[in-house]
Structure 1
Amino acid sequence: MPDESNGQVVDSLTLRFTGEDENGVALHELRAAHVAEVLQGLVGLTTDFDKAGVFHSDGPAGSEVLVRPAQEGSFVIEVVRYAIENWETAAAVGGTVGAPPLASVIWWATRSARADVKDFDYLDNGNVKIVWQDDTAEEVPVAAWQELQKRKRRRKRHLRQIMAPLADPRVTALDLTPPASEELGEDEIPVPIRLRRADYDAVRPEDDIVEEETIFEAEARMSAIDFDDSTRWRVTAQGRTRSATVEDREFLSRVTRGLPISKDDVFQLRIREDAVTKNGSTRTSWTVLSVDSHRRADRGDDSSQAAPSS
């Protein structure tokens, strides 16, 4: 335990995972691997928002996340955020200038992962009012708003870790209970924030996508022609056959006016190949940028300069 002469507990958070097993028995255990992920995610998310100055206006509070012994319940994890620096002000949780509780930070991060921002406004009190796509609103500190614009992939990974037990079909919800604030009476209990599997699904890591573009010139044959749709041609070139979009408007106009084309005709094409690699699998598509020449198979002459057919 850190020396309290150099710091102080300034925040706490209770995470309660609820659910039932296949026999309808209330949940009382979680997979150890999932619990480890919860703690790793909490540490990562807290560290990022602490560095952003969310917990203290004068800079990082040097937060350290600790775990307390489990209490009776379905499955309860109680964590505390321990401030090493600037803890005198950071301890004013719930005050007008105090730091937001960790539960609120997790909620804002989850909302930003589930919905786009429709509008935002800087308020006179120093906060930012966020209006989400569903027309609900949230008021957050400026530092939190700025952090929500950054490290989105990293934040999703932290949230995914925090909600890892929801991958278990026995677990139906995660309740985040913030500490009691001065605004609540002695007999009032803080209302927990409930996260469900839909929230867990919303922070699924984005697929790694790599896009590449290559332009090449090649002799080709048109193995399929669509007079009505320029995106449904098929082109054979360099030993490969691909569906292709033809963007050469002059050539398409000549085809529309009756340019005769045989499947054995040879075209000199300028082609753009777009390759999209997702999860190790690559899909390619071709776009014919220009048809530079056309050699008819029956006569062997080059008709690239021939007058358009009437």
Structure 2
Amino acid sequence: MANKPTEDAAADTLTLRFTGEDEDGTQLHELRAAHVAEVLQGLVGLTSDFDKAGVFHPEGPSGSEVLVRPAQEGSFLIEVVRFTTDNWPGIFAVGGAAGVPSLASVLWWATKSARAGVKDFDHLDNGNVKVVWQDETAQEIPVAAWEELQKRTRRRKKQLRQILTPLSDRRVSALDVSGPPDDVLEAPGAEAAPTTYVLTRPDYDAVKPDDEVEETSEIFETEAQMSAIDFDDSTRWKVKTAARTRSATVEDATFLGQVAGGLAIRKTDVFRLRIREDAVTKNGSTRTSWTVLRVESHRRAAGDDDTQASVASTS
């Protein structure tokens, strides 16, 4: 059971208001329960990472815990409260303590870095970092938050994807975010993180997880038969080994020249082939392809009346 915050516990409130219309044109007033669960899980993960990085207090982790308040009237509203289980006096004054960002600001910076990317940055004398985004806007960010933004990028995208999950619902058009103002000094040309802002479907699309792709290659030699030959397209041959039959691309120019010159090939002929197998694994699914690099030799099958023939190619 979550610890109940005391009256002197430091609190930071983040309000998420999902807006949109149902199919009948009425204002949105409900979300899918699974989507709300994703939002909360994403917020808990995001808060935990930045709290461990010392973003919410200069002396280190503040023991933040995330609670949810009852919904209020209007669209679909989620009010999230982050309070510190360790009572450090003065963490939050009116509107936030000096240099301590709110959860709303952290969410803004994390989304911004995923959407726009960083163009340039500069460490300031006050210990903060002035960040220039690729959309030419600039903001001053506490160094602890800046350092955390450089880490765990894959996990960060997953957290943001969870928080923005309701935007995958066509009924939901926007997410209005609001929080307390930050007292973070502004460098020349930099802007403070907005206390209220709107996130839309392009923000949701920007945090789509990167596909995990692994590519490997292996070269081997084997005996095989040509079960299908395409004189016009070298990428549509079929190679039959003792274990399997695979489509293949033939890259041996000498062998292809011999075939074009009239080399007779029977289905029973046995070839010694040097093959490269390329494997691409994406999101747990693997696709393989074969390329015949060189035809080492060619002979008639045992019992064939023709004499053995060799078409060894040059490398």
The TM-score by the shorter chain falls in which range?
Answer: 0.7 to 0.9
In 2: Cα distance, 1:292 partner to 1:216 partner: 12
Query: CA 1:235–1:117 in 2, change beyond 3 Å: closer, same or farther?
Result: farther
Identity %: 60
Q: TM-score, normalised by structure 2?
A: 0.76
Query: CA 1:150–1:287 in 2, change beyond 3 Å: closer, same or farther?
Result: farther
Counterpart position of 2:290? 286
Q: Is the Cα contact below 8 Å between 2:15 and 2:178 reproduced in 1?
A: yes
List per-residue Cα deviations over 1:150-208 (Å, max 9, x = no partner). 2223222222221222232221100111214569xxxxxx7521111222233234445
Query: CA 1:208–1:127 in 2, change beyond 3 Å: closer, same or farther?
Result: same
Taking the TM superposition and a 5 Å limit, the aligned residue runs for 1:251-262 are: 251-252=252-253, 260=261, 261-262=263-264
Taking the TM superposition and a 5 Å limit, the aligned residue runs for 1:156-235 are: 156-180=157-181, 191-209=195-213, 211-220=215-224, 223-224=228-229, 232=235, 234-235=237-238
Q: TM-score, normalised by structure 1?
A: 0.77
Taking the TM superposition and a 5 Å limit, the aligned residue runs for 1:22-101 are: 22-85=23-86, 87-88=88-89, 90-91=91-92, 97-101=98-102
* Cα RMSD, aligned residues only: 3.4
**Gapped runs of 5+ residues in structure 2?**
185-193, 301-305
In 1: Cα distance, 2:68 partner to 2:291 partner: 57
List per-residue Cα deviations over 1:40-98 (Å, max 9, x = no partner). 22111100111112212221111111223333322222222112237335325867842
List per-residue Cα deviations over 1:234-273 (Å, max 9, x = no partner). 3514232323363xxxx53675699855544654223222
Q: Is the Cα contact below 8 Å between 1:93 and 1:101 reproduced in 2?
A: no
Count of aligned positions: 292
Counterpart position of 2:10? 8
Query: CA 1:287–1:254 in 2, change beyond 3 Å: closer, same or farther?
Result: closer
In 2: Cα distance, 1:305 partner to 1:24 partner: 72
Q: What is the one-letter code of the residue matched to 2:10?
A: Q
Classify the secondary structure of the residue corresponding to 1:242: strand
Classify the secondary structure of the residue corresponding to 1:87: coil
Q: Is the Cα contact below 8 Å between 2:42 and 2:163 reproduced in 1?
A: yes
Larger CA deviation: 158-167 vs 15-24: 158-167
